[in-house]
Structure 1
Amino acid sequence: MATKNNKSTRPTALRLPDVAHWRYGFVMLFVLAGVVVLTWRLLDLHVVDQEFLRTQGDARTVRVESIEAHRGMITDRNGEALAVSTPVQTLWVNPAEMNLDDPRLGEVASVLDLDLNGLLARLAANSERQFLYLKRKVQPSLARDVLSLKIPGVYARREYKRYYPAGEVAAHVVGFSNIDEHGQEGVELAYNSWLSGEVGRKRVLRDRKGRLIKDLSLIADAAPGKDVSLSIDLRLQYIAYRELKAAVRAHGADGGTLVMLDVHTGEILAMVNQTSYNPNNRERIDPADTRNRAITDLFEPGSTVKPLTIAAALESGRYAPETVVNTSPGYLRLNGYTIRDARDYGRLSLSEVVYRSSNVGTSRIAMDLTAPVLVEMFSRVGFGQSVSIGFPGEGVGVLPVRSRWKDIELATLSYGYGLSVNALQLAQAYMVLANGGIRYPLSLVSLAEPPQGQRVLGEKVTAQVRQMLRQVVEKGTGKRAAMPIYTSAGKTGTVHLVGKGGYEDSQYKAVFAGMAPADSPRIVSVITIDDPKGEEYYGGEVAAPIFARVMSDALRLLNVKPNIQPTVAGQAVNSGSGSG
């Protein structure tokens, strides 16, 4: 039976509202715009601006690294090495790549003499870093032993380490540099800019773990530092150091200094001090031992300046070597102070005043000359002025200048009190006496040509003073400075040291300043010994014998012809060069 209202049962189509159509269109447009932008960016980077990607890639793989430059050599005047830079290896690690449980780390600590617990603590504390020094400047053999363990994150790079072949013998002259090869003392500091090289640069390729793949290009090659040739003669330096060290020990002294100059050039041939140090091992070094006493330490020169007072007297024209000075009764009262001689010498000639070392005689001469004359003489030979060798820490000394002088001040100045000098200044003054009156600038660098000197004294005056100094050795206070085959001339000095309460009664500095051979000097030397203990403390007892031993060996090494004929059983032996 047919039904009524026969209507279709198919579902009618669902129509989207107008808002839904708009949203759909917006999303599709946004997606399409994004695709267009990304496509354009890809084209821009890979076609238009591909250099940007390459630069960014290189920034993550290409590195600019430094090329180490070795420091210049320091040599003596004969080319013997005093300081050299040798290639070594520096071990470093990338803590981020390392496994702290790796048992091979114990072997690393053993090879490098490191504390294992301390090493592990350092690695753990720096685990986020990519670079950490393991140990700097180790021997290449030790570096090979460590690298052979093939521990991930352990690497090496080449550096240079300073080595001092002469050790403590030349330590006060050469000085030393720090681990980065920057000068800290001595010539290393004074000539640091000259000795330092210029670090080079190169471009290298490394992987993401920092390992070197290959060298790409050289940006700037390393330039090594320039060499320095010193005036020091290492042979003489060894002799001086040996004798000074032995004397300081023998007398229980606190220290000592010895310098030697070439009288015709002003070059420093030897300069040693006690106590010294080993620049190759400075772990337990006393900073006081690094001081170059020959330049930094000042002292009152005592009787060693008496020849300069006599030179001023001779130059005045009012005195001659035979001029007599009355020293009786052996003492002199001035401004409430007493100046004494060892005994009452009575009437002395100028020559006798020198070789008997009369304080009274020297004082009377100085008061007759007046202070300006004496001060001007001391200034001419270099007292109170820098020796200008460029050495760090130089003590210039004091040469007093006053508008009014007391008699006691002038008198004590004439025999070496009331002024201060360093050993090089005193040696420079004796160089003037030795070479006929020319003051040459001192040099610690070997000279290619003779320097230009300045005449400050006449030849006749200096010849007369040298003869007096020769008598000091032959029959005066300096007898122990005599040598078997060379004549010598010089002056002793024994100076009271200054303490907290003034001059110490039982502490002395023993001094000897001299030249050899006496008739035609080649070398001048000054020796000081600080506070010798025991019965011997005078300059003639302590310092003069060192002069004799050092100068005798030095002159032979320099091929200076002997000027004394040695005797055998009372018979003279020909000391000429001979033909056989």
Structure 2
Amino acid sequence: MNDKKERWTRIRIRIIGAVFVSIFVLIAARAFYLQVVKKESLVKLAEKQHQRIVPLTPVRGAIFDSNNAPLALSIEMDSCFAEPRNVENIPDAAAKLAPLLSMPAEQVEKKLKGSRNFVWLQRRMAPDQAAAIKALALEGIGFVKESKRFYPNSEIAAHVVGFTGMDPEGLEGIELKYDSTILGSTGYLVTERDALGREVYSKGTVVKNPAKGQNVTLTLDKNIQYIAEKELIKAVETNGAKAGIALVMEPATGRILAMANYPNFNPNTFSKYAQQALRNRSIADSFEPGSTFKIFLAATALEQKAIRPGDGFNCENGSYSIGGRTIHDTHKYGYLSIAQILKYSSNIGAAKIGARLGNDKLYAGLTGFGFGEKTGVDLPGESSGTLRNKSQWFGVDLATISFGQGVTATPLQIATGVSAVANGGLLMKPYLVEKISDDNGNVVRSFAPEVKRRVISEETAKTVARMLEGVVAEGGTGVNAAVDGYRSAGKTGTAQKVDHLTRGYSADKRTASYVGFVPLEKPRLTILVVVDEPKTSSYGGIVAAPAFSAIAEQSLCYLKVPTDHALKKKAEQVEVKSAPSVETVDAVVDGGVVAGAAGAIMPNFRGLSMRQALKVMQQRGLNVTLKGSGRAVEQNPMPGSIISGNDRVWVRFVPSA
């Protein structure tokens, strides 16, 4: 019996011992797991329990132009915060802080009496304001350095550079497109807490400094950008227009040297401007290009052998019926060559070239030049324009698309397409960012010119360029775009705007444009100027061409591009919108009047000043009634008409500005 009791006692002792050993092993394993395996994560958790972390504004990298001139910078400024538990006399502190913070004392006091243990009083303060608050030496009031975005050139290149919010995340332009590149890592302000979670004020508050983002260097040249903006403002305001766009590109590379929009804005105070002013019209807006589209029509037709350079077309004396509709030219033309169709901007001639080309080949040519698709420029918000598939072209569509109606394009698409003609037939991808570098200047990534495809041969490109030179020559619609000392090529454009209420064309709203390249032989610049809803004239040759000339002349001088012919004193800018009709070509010389079999022949007075008109009248012995003042906009009869003794002959003038 005793043996049984003794044996059972030993068993119980062993069981209890085994239980204790098991418990010890479990405790040891758990301790190893917590102290070794989970050490780092538990330390971080403990830190969170006795620290409060306040995120600080990341430091954005800078944005430079191609010459390393700063377009956007981040500057250090003081941000003021309060730890209310450590403010000894809240009403007194609020009264002292209120005038320096430009806030009512009640509002400051409310912040200091809030339930939060940390509160921002004002972020990114002016230096003198921060110094005044520091001089108060108030307990519980502290400062930390934060960065603020600053645009040193104000409006210059604002639509390209864009702007940031308070975060500061990029909201528009390059700031948005390259936000993840430019934006640095967030810094932290760390404050200590006691066992009850209350913040403990410490003069030695730890700040984990934010890391700076990378810098972006653009293809833009600030000086050319300034020239483009200056001349665009002049063109828009002189002509009482609604808005405007100016683009300057390197045709050989696709580098964008200037991208100007009007109205403009100051990115330092962007919130004060209407949303319309913030939009980059160069890439976001699409419009019917009008006669500038004839460049791509002629290039495609020549490339496809649908026409030959020496071909000509009967322009039907200004009126031509097709597909149940009648196409009109501004003036009556007879037989015109391809070069003359471009020079005098004949819609009828363009329609006949389009008919010779056909739907399939014209559509292929236009898509080849990049219409109907985005260019891929490194900016947000780009539009693709509208080019309906050829299967949706009906009736008169082939004819109207041939002279730029029934299709829309962005200014950048047009400039890129014209650059392909200028550079010998290569469609380049336009781009704005040259390189990305770190804070030490080391290049992290660089960008090179990119050829998208060949659209026309070099021979075709040279042929079209020579034809477009005639547009700028005497008698062409783009005579006001001539650049003193340089041969250039280009094309005027005038297009009716669509009325969104009537879904038809507006009776009085137009878009006037001019696009071209210079010098002719080795083009350095492609320049496009668009003026939206001008009030003085709807013609691109009057409204936009002078701005092209001014931008080209100043930019070429700045770039030190040698002239290709002797400089001459510029004559007054005049509009020559018409070629004489075929019956009177030999009778009209230098805009004057010579006697004909049935009387005198009416010259083209349009665009002339009253002084110039009087001089022509005196030289030719013509009696004309002059109405108004300024520049001639209307006349009766039309240029080239035979004047008899009983005709009412008059010219109407309107102020030019």
Range class of TM-score, shorter chain: 0.7 to 0.9
Is residue 216 of structure 2 the alignment partner of residue 214 of structure 1? Answer: no
Relative distance call for 1:461 and 1:59 in structure 2 (3 A) is closer
Residue equivalent to 2:253: 265
On the 8 A contact 1:313/1:369 being kept in 2, the answer is yes
Normalising to structure 1: TM-score of the pair?
Answer: 0.83
Question: Structure 1 pair 229/568, CA: closer, same or farther in 2 (3 Å)?
Answer: closer
Give SS of 2:434's match.
coil
What TM-score do you get using the length of structure 2 for normalisation? Answer: 0.74
Q: CA shift at 1:383, angstroms?
A: 0.5
Tell whether the 8 Å contact from 1:341 to 1:358 is kept in structure 2 after alignment: yes
Distance 1:418 1:104, change over 3 A: same
| Alignment counterpart, residue 173 of structure 1, candidates 155, 160, 168 | 160
Map of 1:379 onto structure 2: 367
Change (3 A) 1:155 1:203: closer
Residue equivalent to 2:211: 223
For the residue of structure 2 that corresponds to 1:403, the secondary structure is: helix
Q: Distance in 2 between matches of 1:56 and 1:491?
A: 69
Larger Rg: 1
Once the two structures are superposed, the pairs formed by residues 18-417 of structure 1 within 5 Å of their partners are 69-98=58-87, 102-103=91-92, 105-124=94-113, 126=114, 128-200=115-187, 210-214=200-204, 222-403=210-391, 405-417=393-405
- Structure 2 gaps of 5+ residues are 1-34, 436-445, 572-657
> Could you tell me which residue of structure 1 aligns to residue 576 of structure 2?
none
Change (3 A) 1:174 1:457: same
Map of 2:432 onto structure 1: 444
Q: 1:315 to 1:283 in 2, by over 3 A?
A: closer
CA contact (8 A) 2:82 2:120 kept: yes
C-alpha separation in 2, matches of 1:181 and 1:362: 52
Secondary structure at the aligned position of 1:320 is classed as coil
2:94 corresponds to which letter in structure 1?
L
Distance 1:56 1:391, change over 3 A: closer
Partner residue, 1:42? none
Question: 1:539, CA displacement in angstroms?
Answer: 0.5
Q: Deviations over 1:254-306 (max 9, x none)?
A: 11111111111101110010111111113422122110000100101000010
Q: Which residue of 2 aligns with 1:25?
A: none
Cα distance in 1 between the residues matched to 2:112 and 2:188: 29
Partner of 2:521: 519
Partner of 1:458: 457
Give the aligned length: 514
Shift of 1:247: 1.7
CA distance in 1, matches of 2:189, 2:538: 63
2:494 maps to amino acid: T
Aligned to 1:530: 532
1:561 counterpart SS class = coil
Aligned-residue RMSD, C-alpha: 2.6
Q: Which amino acid aligns with 1:491?
A: K
Alpha-carbon distance change, 472 to 158 in structure 1, aligned in 2, over 3 angstroms: same
Do the aligned partners of 1:478 and 1:492 also contact (CA within 8 Å) in 2? yes
* Equivalent residue, structure 1, for 2:481: 481
Q: Distance in 2 between matches of 1:389 and 1:147?
A: 48
Q: Residue type matched to 1:565 in 2? A: A
Change (3 A) 1:345 1:214: same
Question: Identity of counterpart residues, as a percentage?
Answer: 34
Structure 2 residue identity aligned to 1:391: L
Say if 1:205 and 1:214, in contact at 8 Å, map to a contact too. no
Q: Structure 1 residue 94: deviation in Å?
A: 2.6
In structure 2, how many angstroms separate the alpha carbons of the residues matched to 1:167 and 1:335? 52
Instruction: Decide whether the 8 Å contact of 2:97 with 2:108 is kept in 1.
Output: no
Instruction: Judge conservation of contact 1:259–1:525 (CA < 8 Å) in 2.
Output: yes
Q: Is this contact kept in 2: 1:244–1:257, CA < 8 A? A: yes
Q: Tell me, in whole angstroms, the C-alpha distance in 1 between the residues paired with 2:264 and 2:48.
A: 52
Query: How far has the Cα of 1:99 moved from its partner?
Result: 6.2
Task: Between 252-261 and 90-99, report the one with greater CA deviation.
Answer: 90-99
Cα 1:196–1:353 shift into 2, 3 Å: same
Q: Aligned equivalents of 2:61 and 2:543: distance in 1?
A: 40
Q: Equivalents in 1 of 2:301, 2:426: separation in Å?
A: 18
Give 1:337 deviation, angstroms: 1.6
Offset at residue 390 of structure 1 (A): 3.2
